[in-house]
Amino acid sequence: MAQIIDGKKISSEIKEEIKSVCSQLVKEKKQLPGLVTILVGNNPASKAYVNSKAKSCNEVGMVSKIEILDESISEEELISLINRFNNDKNYHGILVQLPLPKYINESNVIKSIIPEKDVDGFHPINVGKLVIGEETLIPCTPYGILELLKRYNIETKGKHVVVVGRSNIVGKPIANLLLQKRDGANAVVTIVHSAAKNISFYTKQADILIAAIGSPKFIKAEMLKENVVVIDVGINRVEDANSPKGYKIIGDVDFDEVSKIASFITPVPGGVGPMTIAMLLKNTLIAYKHLTKNIE
């Protein structure tokens, strides 16, 4: 039976570490790190994400602000608000909740955040730095995966990591991060996507399998070798008559069968998911550190 990689526990540890840095800043009467989250429209799921980010900020003692904008706001108005926060010394991180309404060009908006405050790590300058192995703000979900591997002492050097999915927010950045020679990642990386003819051919070779597909229970035990380490990024809502909500959240991996052959596995929920918010806080702290030089 696989050892469970407990993302909930690790994320709490990271939040505690950040909380103690913030308490120290209070003691030293220094400015606190601040995160502003911008939401356009009132999509209930996005609103819930934004609220939980703000709640986590408050829990660790950071300053947080939510800007909710009317769906009718123009791209120019949104960018001008971002510019205001680019110049606001109270906020060290700026996060625009995606997706944006279709008429707003997401890429223009991401590029309008100064890279130093881009705590999502989506700005092309930060993406470029990540690819060439320079220190930068790393997108939160891949950053969370790195942290889980590190804190469970899972060796990546020389290991074959197979990433299923090539999105800009998960698949591509985690593949690039694990490929880096520095920081001990140093893995051999394969990226698989929907054009792959025989996915099992690749997944069966994985020492570490990262599933970021968006397809419930897509990865089966027969697609993997024994003792593989499995990181399940997927968050899929499926109907569940037994749940009071009428649905439940499951991953991209068939947990019941894969956990019998894997050496380590992340559950869904409670694996990668909780790490994403923890790493957003960590990124805000890193941005604060660079912008203020208030901490070592």
Query: Which residues are known binding-site members for NADP(+)?
Result: 165-167, 235
7 is an interface residue for ligand NDP by CB under 6 A: no
Provide CB contacts within 8 A for 204, sequence distance 6+. 223, 224, 225
Residue 167 amino acid letter: S
Which among 225, 226, 115, 121 has a CA at the least distance from the CA of 170?
121
236 is an interface residue for ligand NDP by CB under 6 A: yes
Cα(108)–Cα(293) distance, integer angstroms: 29
Determine whether 248 is an active site residue. Answer: no
121 is an interface residue for ligand NDP by CB under 6 A: no
Rounded to the nearest whole angstrom, what is the least distance from the CB of residue 185 to ligand NDP in the complex? Answer: 20
Please say which residue, 2 or 148, places its beta carbon nearer to ligand NDP.
148
- Using H for helix, E for strand and C for coil, what is the string for 53-69? HHHHHHHHCCEEEEEEE
Indicate the DSSP class of residue 164. Answer: E
Determine whether 97 is an active site residue. Answer: yes
Rounded to the nearest whole angstrom, what is the least distance from the CB of residue 194 to ligand NDP in the complex? Answer: 3
Q: Footprint of ligand NDP on residues 152-211 (CB under 6 A)? A: 164-167, 169-171, 192-196, 199
What letters, b where the CB count within 10 A reaches 16 and e where it falls short, cover 4-13? Answer: bbbbeebbee
Rounded to the nearest whole angstrom, what is the least distance from the CB of residue 178 to ligand NDP in the complex? Answer: 16
Q: Which range of residues in 12-20, 49-57, 114-122, 227-235 is near ligand NDP by CB under 6 A?
A: 227-235
Q: Kindly list the residues in this chain that would bind ligand NDP in the complex (CB under 6 A).
A: 141, 164-167, 169-171, 192-196, 199, 212-215, 233-236, 272-273, 276
Q: Which residues are catalytic?
A: 53, 97, 120
